[in-house]
Amino acid sequence: MRHDLDVVVAATLTLLGLIIGFSFSMATDRYDQRKNCEEAEANAIGTEYVRADLLPSADAARVRALLVQYLDQRVLFYKTHDDDELRHINDATAKLQTELWSAVTAPSVASQPTPVMALAVSGMNDVLNAQGYTQAAWWNRIPTAAWVMMLLIAISANVMFGYGSRRAKAGAIHVLILPLVLAIALFLIADIDSPRLGVIRVHPQNLISLAQSLQAH
């Protein structure tokens, strides 16, 4: 019976290790995706700020002013922890997106569209799409069902490991090692997978750098 229990515990721990490894890989992939989206947003906004020169001077000044406000909202989106503040940021972002699209398409509607103006419109489309991709990446999390299954397997492994250690009369430190290691591993996965509440978060370095550059400009 002792040998059979050891086999079951080893198999359960192996399965748990594989699941934790795959879950960690999923979490890090999503973290990298959020970082790439932040970089893409900064590039799109910076490119559209330059392409505003292709519009008439009055429209170009309005587009640049709106882009600066929009950039500030995007930086706040990455920094905020409060749900109420996040709702205000999302509302302000949606309003600015409408104004930006109207500002960049107004010259094309008022006059004959040209390929030069089309570049400005295309750049604004990239700005709006980049925000959508970022939001989708932040919503993309490890499913709750996967967390439940992983926790059930972890609890089962700990129970069997503790039962075997009790029969072998192992020390308290020996019994606590596995739960502690598993807790640290699961905390790390949950922290990386949480884009807003975790310790490991995506810092909007590219957006902040762009904001400083536009202020200097």
Residue 195 CA to residue 38 CA, distance in Å, equals: 12
Task: Say if residue 147 is in the same domain as residue 136.
Answer: no
- Per the CB < 8 A criterion, the answer to whether 66 and 104 are in contact is no
Task: Say if residue 137 is in the same domain as residue 43.
Answer: yes
pLDDT of residue 93: 94
**pLDDT one-digit tens code per residue, 184-214:** 999 999 999 888 887 888 889 999 999 998 8
In the chain, the amino acid numbered 123 is G
Residue 212, in any domain of the structure: yes
Residue 51, in any domain of the structure: yes
Task: Say if residue 43 is in the same domain as residue 94.
Answer: yes
Residue 187, in any domain of the structure: yes
The position carrying tokens 């205000």 is 88
Task: Say if residue 66 is in the same domain as residue 160.
Answer: no
Domain count along the chain: 2
Domain that holds residue 108: 39-141+201-216
Residue 34, in any domain of the structure: no
> What global pTM score does this model have?
0.82
Residue 146 CA to residue 204 CA, distance in Å, equals: 29
Residue 163, in any domain of the structure: yes
Task: Say if residue 169 is in the same domain as residue 137.
Answer: no
**pLDDT one-digit tens code per residue, 7-33:** 888 888 888 889 899 999 999 999 999
Residue 8 CA to residue 16 CA, distance in Å, equals: 12
Task: Say if residue 11 is in the same domain as residue 46.
Answer: no
pLDDT of residue 195: 85
Residue 127 CA to residue 182 CA, distance in Å, equals: 41
pLDDT of residue 111: 65
- Per the CB < 8 A criterion, the answer to whether 154 and 144 are in contact is no
Task: Say if residue 149 is in the same domain as residue 106.
Answer: no
pLDDT of residue 118: 81
Q: Mean pLDDT, 10 residues at a time, over the chain (217 residues)?
A: 76 88 91 93 93 86 93 92 90 93 79 75 91 91 88 88 69 76 91 85 91 84
Residue 125, in any domain of the structure: yes
Residue 113, in any domain of the structure: yes
pLDDT of residue 209: 92
- Per the CB < 8 A criterion, the answer to whether 186 and 148 are in contact is no
Residue 126 CA to residue 133 CA, distance in Å, equals: 10
pLDDT of residue 200: 85
